[in-house]
Amino acid sequence: MLGLRVRAQQLDRATGSLDDTAVLDIGVQDTGTDGARWALALRGVEAPAEDALATVWTIRGAPHVYRRADLPGVAAATAPFSDADAGKRIFDASKPLKAAGIPNLAGLDAVADAMRSIVTGPMVKGEMSTRLTAVLDEPYLRFCVPCAATHTYEQPFRLSALRAGLELQPGTSPPVLQPIPGFAPADTVPPRLDVVRAYLRLLGPATPKLVAGYLDAPVKDVQARWPEDAVEVDVDGERCWLLEDDLDLLGDPPRGTRLLGPFDLHLQARDRSLLVADPVRAKDLWRTLGRPGGVLVDGEVVGTWRARKAGSAVGVEVSVWDGAGAATRRAVSEQAERLAAFRGLSLKAVDIAG
């Protein structure tokens, strides 16, 4: 399984293009200092043309990068499967909508319509939120204790943006939203962008429950969209499924070392115990705040890493759980050099513990 995922996600290749980069079919999460661009660089795509990519809020309300040409299909692929699915994805925002007799999908459309009318050019999220609050009715709003202000619920805000035809300017903090030129969602989902198929292709073998956990969707909705060409395989006595065409990708992982970003797709699989069996180590790797990256060696996640910038240099701190031999230390140091070059900085030091 680990070998399949490394190969399917192309973590073993040296060069590639945006057109043939498989992870862009499901979206590359753009969270953290290095974000999506580092994930693409690890898959052989260096310095992609900015106008060929677009950043939008999609799966779990997180920012993801896609091929710009795919955005109509992405909008269709990442939209909730049903009204119940929409309710699950927007969490507590569903309760006031239900009390007001507003279906969840209709609620998302109402927020999207308001967003579309407000954002006619680049606009900072805070300004857009203020304007949105002024035009939405009470079921769409809540009092936010941290902000000490009333504004729309966060998940409907994020999940309605692409419905409104809005993208994020890359690298902006706070986020800046802007209209997508000539945008209209596709009527049907291209098979390549189907999120259930993409999960099985890139993070399989899997179960409907694992896919549902990745999407924040009900298991029933995922089961209803289960691919007909998914074949059953046994994983330590558990029934899982894999796309039939991908059976030949199973096998020992290819050799190589990568410093995976904290939100790299390889670390997004919902069967985390497959990647890291020890619960203490898993808790550290997938912590909610201050999440480190993962050290991938020959298909195995063997530790964590963090980078700290100091002026024009960066230092990389690495923890290898079960000890690092000379070969691993050399490979990790080479990847740290690669990270520094990617950031346009010099490498100050590599501190490898373990």
Is 126 found in the same domain as 22? yes
- 226 located within any domain: no
- 278 located within any domain: yes
Is 169 found in the same domain as 266? no
pLDDT for position 352: 96
Residue found under tokens 């079919």: 25
- 230 located within any domain: no
Is 306 found in the same domain as 158? no
Looking at residue 161, its amino acid is A
- 207 located within any domain: no
Instruction: Write down which residue in 133, 150, 179 finishes a domain.
Output: 179
How many whole angstroms separate alpha carbon 105 and alpha carbon 159?
A: 11
pLDDT for position 99: 97
pLDDT tens for 99-154 read 999 999 999 999 999 999 999 999 999 999 999 999 999 999 998 888 888 999 99
Is 277 found in the same domain as 166? no
- 34 located within any domain: yes
Segments forming the whole domain that contains residue 52: 2-179
pLDDT for position 15: 96
- 229 located within any domain: no
Is 121 found in the same domain as 266? no
Strand 257-260: give its sheet, edge to edge.
257-260, 293-297, 300-310, 313-320, 346-353
Number of domains within the chain: 2
Is 152 found in the same domain as 286? no
How many whole angstroms separate alpha carbon 40 and alpha carbon 37?
A: 5
Is 29 found in the same domain as 157? yes
pLDDT tens for 145-199 read 888 889 999 999 999 999 999 999 998 999 999 999 999 999 999 999 999 999 9
Is 168 found in the same domain as 292? no
Could you tell me which residues are beta bridge partners of residue 313?
310, 346
Instruction: Write down which residue in 149, 179, 209 finishes a domain.
Output: 179
Instruction: Write down which residue in 179, 202, 232 finishes a domain.
Output: 179
pLDDT for position 126: 94
CB atoms < 10 A from the CB of 276, how many?
A: 22
- 215 located within any domain: no
Is pTM beyond 0.85? Reply is yes
Is 301 found in the same domain as 170? no
Is 36 found in the same domain as 126? yes
- 71 located within any domain: yes
